[in-house]
A and B are shown apart, each in its own frame.
Chain A
Amino acid sequence: MTALSMKRAVPVLIGVGTLVAAIGAIEILIRAGLINRYIVPLPSQIIASFERVIVEEGIPERFWLTLREAFWATVLLSVFGVGIGVLLHRIRILRLATETWVAAMASAPTVLMYPLFLVIFGRNASTIIMMGFVAGLAPVILKTLEGLAGTRRVLIDVGRSFKLTPWQLYWKILFPAALPSIFVGIKLGMIFALINIVGVEFLINFGGLGQLINELAERYDLAGTYAAICFVILVSVLFFIFTERLERWLRPVN
């Protein structure tokens, strides 16, 4: 193993090692009776239940449905969030008038609006995608705005000195400069969206991982419930890997 690949592998190994150690510690604490096993199942039981959940509970279809919903919600909030952020940056009066409202929207419990969305979109995946989209929109707008407004003045001056058009200034300087902040917004938005997607699946009993978690919890299949939650985490992990790759492709060095 070369020194470089070793350098890259160390953080991954530490991360995996910490996770394994934490799981082992929980196993020991439960077996020692320090954590109630009727609230938190043994990690070994959860691991053993994976096969059962995958085969008997139709995990692939549910996982695929939640993944698709999360994907479309992320696409929507990226397109509209970044678009609105750019618009607010361009039109100062609009920004001053609405920035506080957008920030307030970030803390609103939009998941409680699901009956309204059900009336508008019907009991289908569109409702779930739109709920995820609305929940994740505010951080994308705010972080896009922050990134664009935080672009160093001198970089803009360089662009002006080369007589860039307003469009070139955005595309060649402001946008790449703001990219790290925009991606933080997208990742945050994606987390909010996924929480809401699973939450609404849980609430309206439509399908996906959220519905499965609800069913398993009602059956008091704790190990299965936690196993299903692991698949929600997997959706999140896959999106993180995808967005990180995308960011590195768009801006190799921060």
Chain B
Amino acid sequence: MPAATQLKPSSGSAVAPGRADALLVVDGVTKRFETPDGVLTAVDDLSLTVAPGEFLGVIGPSGCGKSTLFNVIGGLIDRYDGRVTVAGETVSGPHPSIGMVFQEESTFPWRTVIDNVAFPLEIAGLPKAQRYEKARHFVHLVGLDGFERRYPAELSGGMRQRVSMARTLASEPKILLMDEPFAALDEQTRLLLGDKVLQIQQELKQTTLIITHNITEAVQLSDRILVMTYRPGKVKRIVDIDLPRPRTSEIVSSEAFGRYVAQIWSDLREEASRGMHDDEARKRQGGEKSG
């Protein structure tokens, strides 16, 4: 097995050694929810770091607490155990250094593309001419030149997600946090948008954390991948993706890529299967109760 595809052993933590310079540190985060069936631990003692300029992928089966982790890091959930810091500063509530791209379509339908992208600049109080100039740069960056005056309803799903991404990038966050941004798109569009993300990351040296359940996407984009366990969400394994950069979607046809995908799937399979059985058992129980 080539060194590039060797997997690190499960450590229970993604705080890699020698990462004292980490930009983002998630330290022992545990999040529990009160549910009608009792307390549900969504994320359990999870730690990770992201170095400046790094692209970290977080992958796990449905229901493993990926989105909870996204909301904790983004400051949208504030009652949890543990700590999240950005450049040494504790995150409590939404942090200006963290930009979020959501899974669900989140463009403002009443604003044109340029006005959507200029939104954070408008909030920051930038004069109109300046914010439009800056917004145009980010529209260009995501490849939507010529669509500035269009409304989201006139765009495809992939284009709308690019608008969301441009809007978040316009706020110039230190860390770009993305929650399954291409989940609603078809595989081909997803791969092409992956190219766009790689290109942007290359250009801006943007520190990025992407949460996904798509192995191909995670391997295509990431420097490291954190594999999560099914409920409660813990770190199962961290995989260094030693594929050459700059990358494009053509990498998916390489042998090394295939090996990474296979190895991550072998880790994920067990968790996904546990999740599926758990889900079925809950549905059966629900059926018996209602029956």
Contacts and interface: CB of A to CB of B under 8 A. Distances in A.
A170 to B, nearest CB: 13
Interface of A: 152, 154-155, 157-158, 160-164, 168, 172-173, 176-177, 179, 251-254
Interface of B: 74-76, 93-94, 96, 98-100, 102, 104-106, 108-110, 119-120, 123, 151, 153, 167-168, 171
Contacts of B104: 152, 154
B76 A162 contact: no
A176 B123 contact: no
Given A162-B120, A164-B123, A252 B106 contact: no
B94 A252 contact: no
A162 B108 contact: no
A173 to B, nearest CB: 7
Tell which of B93, B109, B168 has the most Cβ of chain A within 10 Å.
Answer: B109
B108 A173 contact: yes
A176 B110 contact: yes
A157 B151 contact: no
Tell which of A152, A161, A177 has the most Cβ of chain B within 10 Å.
Answer: A161
A161 B153 contact: no
A157 B94 CA distance: 10
Contacts of A162: 94, 119-120, 123, 171
B105 A154 contact: yes
28 contacts: A154-B106, A155-B106, A155-B108, A157-B106, A160-B76, A160-B94, A161-B75, A161-B99, A161-B100, A162-B94, A162-B119, A162-B120, A162-B123, A163-B93, A163-B94, A163-B123, A168-B123, A172-B123, A173-B108, A176-B110, A177-B110, A179-B110, A252-B151, A253-B109, A253-B110, A253-B151, A253-B153, A254-B109
B254 to A, nearest CB: 35
A177 B106 CA distance: 12
A33 B109 CA distance: 54
Nearest to A161: B100
Given A157-B102, A160-B76, A251 B110 contact: yes
B76 A161 contact: yes
Contacts of B109: 253-254
Given A157-B76, A252-B151, A253-B151, A163 B108 contact: no
A176 B112 CA distance: 13
Given A160-B94, A161-B94, 13 more contacts: A154-B106, A157-B76, A157-B106, A158-B108, A161-B74, A161-B75, A161-B168, A162-B94, A163-B94, A164-B123, A172-B123, A251-B110, A254-B110
